[in-house]
Amino acid sequence: MFHKEGQKIIFGSLVAVVAIILLIDQFVSLSWLRTTMMLVVVAFFLLILQFFRNPKRLGQLNDNHVLSPVDGKVVVIEEVFEKEFFNEKRLQVSIFMSPINVHVTRYPVGGKVVFSKYHPGKFLVAWHPKASEENERTTVVVENDAFGKVLHRQIAGALAKRIVNYAKVDEEVKQGADSGFIKFGSRVDVFLPLDADIKVVLNQKVKGGMSIIAEKP
């Protein structure tokens, strides 16, 4: 199953792959070179398919849990001052996605969307200290009965040139449902109450919509 954000790119890539293979077959006479070039083109197309895959996730939904919004590796767990929405200290959990990870962003909690904003910006590498403040990004806050307001922020990286955000203010959303998509690698930050019981450790690999990153204390 592939994400809707990849439909045009997948179709365009398929057309290009077929055209290139026909040209290779027509103009490259050496059989070993022809085969190698065709395999490289097919491999490129398979990478495109892998990038836009959207596997169904059957994680157990629970209002007392915060689920990872994306697939990737936990790179930050720290107390920070969040100044865009809360203007107070929060626990930040950041997850870095490589180009081979699933890039669907999912709601970490269910509830009502109370804030959703897009910020144009730079394309620093996703692990850069200032990426969360200077890169292209979106900020979404969902109000949840157990945790209050939970913020998750999609952050573009050096390769990510487009962030898609589906969250709309006053919309009721379901935990684990699609919140957006980041094209070609990046990072997502989650900001939680200071008393949240963090259930992940640095460098741990997590799966969006399945891995529990925090529990209600």
- Give all strands (DSSP E) within the chain, no chain letters: 65-67, 72-82, 88-97, 104-106, 111-119, 137-144, 148-156, 162-165, 172-173, 178-183, 186-192, 197-198, 205-206, 212-215
Query: What is the residue-averaged pLDDT of the chain?
Result: 87
What is the average per-residue pLDDT within 138-147?
Answer: 95
pTM of the model: 0.82
* 124 pLDDT more than 80: no
Segment 56-79 mean pLDDT:
89
**What integer is the mean pLDDT of 182-192?**
85
Report the pLDDT averaged over residues 81-99: 93
pLDDT at 128 over 70: no
pLDDT of residue 92: 96
Which parts of 65-198 fold into alpha helices (H)? 131-134
Q: Is the pLDDT of residue 59 over 70?
A: no
Q: Is the pLDDT of residue 3 over 80?
A: no
Q: Give pLDDT, residue 14.
A: 87
pLDDT of residue 25: 87
Q: What is the pLDDT of residue 123?
A: 63
Q: Is the pLDDT of residue 115 over 80?
A: yes
25 neighbors 17 (Cβ within 8 angstroms): no
The pLDDT, as a whole number, for residue 213 is: 96
32 has pLDDT over 70: yes
Average pLDDT over residues 98-120: 91
**Model confidence at 197: pLDDT above 80:** yes
Hey, what CATH topology would domain 65-215 get? Glucose Permease (Domain IIA) (2.70.70)
Report the distance separating Cα 104 and Cα 100, nearest Å.
12
Q: Which residues are catalytically annotated?
A: 186
